[in-house]
């Protein structure tokens, strides 16, 4: 079942912060975050594993709440380069062993100067 992302879109001024959520109705094993710019390949940001782990990448970090089956992506002090569509891809607990991902519908992030 497809995870649900919120919000669907967000508009920021440079330097502002944003949070993007990814929720699933089923037990998750991992959450993968990607950013895709128009007409380009999705670019990997980070993987969160079951266990409430929090990871960071530059000014972008994420958390995984196993109880809520939800992951949140935190973008701080946003830059123009952060603009794009953010997708979460999930693999379920007890699912395939090879990393088949189910992606959310995406969150469009626009950063203005």
**Dihedrals φ, ψ of 79, to 5°?**
-115, 160
The binder of other proteins chosen from 1, 40, 81, 94 (CB under 8 A):
40
Q: Is 34 in the site for other proteins (CB under 8 A)?
A: yes
Give the range of 12-20, 60-68, 73-81, 103-111 binding other proteins by CB under 8 A: 103-111
d(CA 45, CA 43) in angstroms, rounded, equals 6
> 3-state DSSP call for residue 81?
helix
Q: Taking a C-beta distance cutoff of 8 angstroms, is the pair 104, 56 a contact?
A: no
**Residue ranges binding other proteins (CB under 8 A):** 2, 29-30, 32, 34, 39-44, 47, 49, 87, 89, 91, 96-106
């Amino acid at each position: 079942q497809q995870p649900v992302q919120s919000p669907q879109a967000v508009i920021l001024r440079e330097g502002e912060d944003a949070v993007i959520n990814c929720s699933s109705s089923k037990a998750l094993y991992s959450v993968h975050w990607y950013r895709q710019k128009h007409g380009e390949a999705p670019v990997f940001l980070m993987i969160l594993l079951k266990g409430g782990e929090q990871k960071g990448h530059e000014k972008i970090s994420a958390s995984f709440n196993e109880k809520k089956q939800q992951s949140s992506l935190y973008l701080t002090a946003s830059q123009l380069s952060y603009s794009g569509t953010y997708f979460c891809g999930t693999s379920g607990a007890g699912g395939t062993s090879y990393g088949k991902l189910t992606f959310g519908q995406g969150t469009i992030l626009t950063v203005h100067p």
